[in-house]
Amino acid sequence: MKTLEDLTSIEQMEADTAKLKEIACSVCAETWEDRNKKQTPHCKFGEDGICCKNCSMGPCRITPKASRGICGADAHAIAARNYLRTIAAGTSAHSDHAREILHILHGASRDGNYHVRDEQKLLRLAQEWEVATEGRDIYDIAHDVAEVGLMEFGKIHGNQRFIKRATAERQKVWHDQGIEPRAIDREIATSLHMTHMGNSADPEALVRQGLRTGISNGWGGSMLGTEITDILFGTPTVRTTEGNLGVLEKDMVNIVVHGHDPAFSEMVVTAAEIKELVDYAKSKGAKGINIVGLCCTANEVAMRHGVRMAGNFLQQENAVLTGAVEMMCVDVQCIFPALAPLSECFHTKFVTSSPIARIPGSIYVEFKPETAFEQAKGLIKMAIDNYQSRDRSKVFIPSTKQTAVVGYPTEQIIKHLDGVTNSHVDEIGSYRPAIDAIKAGVLRGAVAIVGCNNPRVRPDYSHFEIMKELLQNDILIVATGCAAQLATKAGLLNKDAKYVCGAGLRRVCELVNIPPILHMGACVDISRMMLLATGIAKDWGVDTTQIPVVGCAPEWMSEKAVSIANYVVSTGIDVYLGIEPQVRGSTQMMDLITQGTRNIVGAGYIINKDPHELVKSILEGIEAKRAGLGI
Ligand code: XCC
Ligand code: SF4
């Protein structure tokens, strides 16, 4: 790869989708494109956030002739309540995911299905939480650490433990503003309580609770999820893999793992390596077993095992449409219920595994930690048995794929920076080399590009355009979630992608030996980004709100994304959105989320649907931060 032309363009990706769409038509299957058409135009009240159904006197909708609901709630109250409920739902999803992982750690044992893979990280966390380690068995420590972690969800007193990891200035802001998060479940419950009929109607109070609930996710649930996942399955390291539908194999048993919680997919990945199963696959005429990922589960297993990524959110139906998927195994979140009827048009077995995501038409195999490995083996066998049912006349696997280098948690970033600091021993283990590059202007700053894709805009187009332009402007990008997978599909996680960068960034990539976009993981791993920004700010001697680093979610769609945006803003980092939050029916709310939060936490949203306009604002924002620091 030497030029922009070597990247996989959005047009190429769309051409693949169009061919798969033809297959969908030939088998009379419906896809999101069809359903999106039928849903357009969307309900205006919902879009504007001014429909309330929080009690059965309603639903009440705000119109020119009805400026208040029956109870008297106005557009501002209704939009703010809906917004807070969204944040509460997003927080519950991320945090419940973390809770599941903590239960797995709690039950981990030497002779069980789950083990402690990163003992050092466990010991560090034990120390941070004052859990005794001296002379104790690692599994006893793991058990106690899990107990302390689980208490973060429901403890009666005190705040989230991880907020102490933030800069001193940030902690003071949260304290002074009264938004230090308490127990995670409590913040979610308080949000639901505040928005119950007959409670808060003050948009600012509701927005403040949104920030607090968001922090309980980013500096609570999500951070717990990331830490404990690393302890159980290993802290990710740099690996080379591939991405896009071309990773499906025409003569192998293809199994797609999809969702978010890696406890299940880790087992599937491990079981697929067993010789007995590989031999069994061969006995059925396949060349082997090919496990690939979708959505955030893909990010998790790619970073820890190099498992290849079939694609992001809006590509989930495409995977089935190839006709080459023997089994789609899902855990939780971002799973289309549409996969069930779609799978019926093919031989694909659609397997759900969590009581949290029950989908009619799926094969439900409730996954239990005690029997996880045996269950995973059973599923793989079922997929192998299904290989012979593949109808070869229906198979079309697009050949498009790109190589990608993934797996840059903060530990790996530091390690790479250490590699270029040989002459300054005092810089070992710090972000100083990155800070120096920013100060010198070789790098202008960094942008975290995260989030989903969304039919409200041309899917993946905004991600792609924003990434290219920022790289050309010497902005280093860190990415997670489906945004990271667009980067994968495009070829931007390839080390050769440095050729699309500005001269400064290209030099940094060559020196540090990194791709210009660093893949930091799944959506829960945006907590890693918070620690990255905090580490940089601390080494710089300033607060997170001062450094030239911003967040950007060009195509977000999920409630989790709104929760994330709230903790990123609470951390003092501006968030650039390409999709408008559903509060447009309230001028006060639009003002609060773009300006009002600046008076509370020093950051807010900047919203623009046009990716090029959004880039312009990002660059201005970064230059303003630089000017503020006198660089
Ligand atoms: Fe889901 Fe995490 Fe969004 Fe992708 S990016 S569509 S939330 S898989 Ni988080
Ligand atoms: Fe209508 Fe008020 Fe009930 Fe909402 S809470 S549905 S605005 S009466």
The domain limits of the chain are 71-233, 245-394, 403-628
Tell how far the Cα of 295 is from the centroid of ligand 1, in angstroms. Answer: 6
> Residue 311: nearest ligand to its CA?
1
Q: Give nearest CA residue, ligand 2 atom 4.
A: 52
The residue to mutate among 313, 335, 449, 454, having the most atoms of ligand 1 within 8 angstroms of its beta carbon, is 313
> Residue 52: nearest ligand to its CA?
2
Q: Which residues contact 418 (CB under 8 A, 6 or more apart)?
A: 427, 428, 429
Is 88 a residue whose pLDDT tops 90?
Answer: yes
> How is the chain split among helix, strand and coil, in percent rounded to 5?
55, 10, 35
CB atoms within 10 A of CB 132: 11
Provide the pLDDT for residue 427: 73
Tell how far the Cα of 565 is from the centroid of ligand 2, in angstroms. Answer: 27
> Residue 71: nearest ligand to its CA?
2
Distance CA 123, CA 126 (A): 5
Provide the pLDDT for residue 1: 58
Question: Ligand 1: does its nearest atom lie under 6 Å from the Cβ of 313?
Answer: yes
Distance CA 134, CA 157 (A): 28
> Residue 55: nearest ligand to its CA?
2
Tell how far the Cα of 71 is from the centroid of ligand 2, in angstroms. Answer: 6
Q: pLDDT band at 493, cuts 50/70/90? A: very high
Question: Ligand 2: does its nearest atom lie under 6 Å from the Cβ of 60?
Answer: yes
Q: pLDDT band at 421, cuts 50/70/90? A: confident
Q: Give nearest CA residue, ligand 2 atom 7.
A: 69
> Any idea of the CA torsion for 88, 92, 98, 102, to the nearest 10 degrees?
120
The residue to mutate among 54, 81, 84, having the most atoms of ligand 2 within 8 angstroms of its beta carbon, is 54
Q: CA quadruple 291, 295, 299, 304: dihedral positive or negative? A: negative
CA atoms within 13 A on the CB side of 370: 0
Tell how far the Cα of 69 is from the centroid of ligand 2, in angstroms. Answer: 5
3-state secondary structure of 123: helix
CB atoms within 10 A of CB 591: 13
Is 555 a residue whose pLDDT tops 70?
Answer: yes
In one-letter notation, the amino acid at residue 174 is W
CB atoms within 10 A of CB 347: 18
Question: Ligand 2: does its nearest atom lie under 6 Å from the Cβ of 199?
Answer: no
**What fold characterizes domain 403-628?**
Rossmann fold (3.40.50)
- Strand runs (DSSP E) across 390-538, as ranges? 402-406, 445-449, 475-480, 517-521
Average pLDDT over residues 204-221: 98
CA atoms within 13 A on the CB side of 422: 4
- Strand runs (DSSP E) across 179-335, as ranges? 239-243, 253-258, 289-294, 308-311, 327-330
Provide the pLDDT for residue 422: 59
The mean of the pLDDT values for the chain is 97
Do domains 71-233 and 245-394 share one topology? The answer is no
Here the tokens at position 475 are 């902005």
Is 11 a residue whose pLDDT tops 70?
Answer: yes
Is 559 a residue whose pLDDT tops 90?
Answer: yes
Tell how far the Cα of 141 is from the centroid of ligand 1, in angstroms. Answer: 33
Average pLDDT over residues 418-429: 74
Please state the atom number of ligand 2 nearest to the C-alpha of residue 81: 4
**Cα 235 from chain centroid (whole Å):** 17
Tell how far the Cα of 344 is from the centroid of ligand 1, in angstroms. Answer: 25
Report the share of the chain in percent with pLDDT over 70: 99
Task: Tell me which residue has tokens 């040989």.
Answer: 422
Average pLDDT over residues 382-400: 96
Average pLDDT over residues 268-293: 98
Please state the atom number of ligand 1 nearest to the C-alpha of residue 557: 3
CATH match for 71-233 among 1.50.10.20, 1.20.1270.30, 3.40.50.12780, 1.10.600.10: 1.20.1270.30
Q: 505-510: long-range contacts (C-beta < 8 A, 24 or more apart)?
A: 505/442, 505/443, 505/471, 505/474, 505/475, 505/476, 507/442, 508/437, 508/442, 508/443, 508/476
Question: Ligand 1: does its nearest atom lie under 6 Å from the Cβ of 386?
Answer: no
Q: Give nearest CA residue, ligand 1 atom 3.
A: 452
Query: For 399, which DSSP code?
Result: -
Average pLDDT over residues 468-484: 98
Is 235 a residue whose pLDDT tops 80?
Answer: yes
Tell how far the Cα of 76 is from the centroid of ligand 2, in angstroms. Answer: 13
Please state the atom number of ligand 1 nearest to the C-alpha of residue 334: 1
Provide the pLDDT for residue 4: 75
Tell how far the Cα of 10 is from the centroid of ligand 1, in angstroms. Answer: 19
Please state the atom number of ligand 2 nearest to the C-alpha of residue 55: 3
CB atoms within 10 A of CB 279: 11
Phi-psi region of 602 (alpha: psi -120 to 50; beta: other; left: phi over 0): left
Tell how far the Cα of 66 is from the centroid of ligand 1, in angstroms. Answer: 37
Distance CA 228, CA 129 (A): 13
CATH match for 245-394 among 3.40.50.620, 3.40.50.2030, 3.30.450.20, 3.30.930.10: 3.40.50.2030
Is 546 a residue whose pLDDT tops 70?
Answer: yes
The values of phi and psi at residue 554, to 5°, are: -70, -25
Question: Ligand 1: does its nearest atom lie under 6 Å from the Cβ of 336?
Answer: no
Q: pLDDT band at 528, cuts 50/70/90? A: very high
> Residue 485: nearest ligand to its CA?
1
Q: pLDDT band at 2, cuts 50/70/90? A: low
Asked if 232 contacts 114 with a C-beta cutoff of 8 angstroms, the reply is yes
pLDDT for 101-118, tens place per residue?
999 999 999 999 999 999
Asked if 154 contacts 173 with a C-beta cutoff of 8 angstroms, the reply is no
Is 630 a residue whose pLDDT tops 60?
Answer: yes
Please state the atom number of ligand 1 nearest to the C-alpha of residue 483: 5
Provide the pLDDT for residue 3: 74
Lowest mean pLDDT among 164-168, 406-410, 428-432, 561-565: 428-432
Question: Ligand 2: does its nearest atom lie under 6 Å from the Cβ of 471?
Answer: no
Is 424 a residue whose pLDDT tops 70?
Answer: no
Distance CA 129, CA 151 (A): 12
Cα distances (Å, whole numbers) of residue 508 to 346, 375, 420, 438 = 48, 46, 10, 10
**pTM, two decimal places:** 0.97
> Residue 51: nearest ligand to its CA?
2
Tell how far the Cα of 45 is from the centroid of ligand 1, in angstroms. Answer: 25
Average pLDDT over residues 389-418: 96
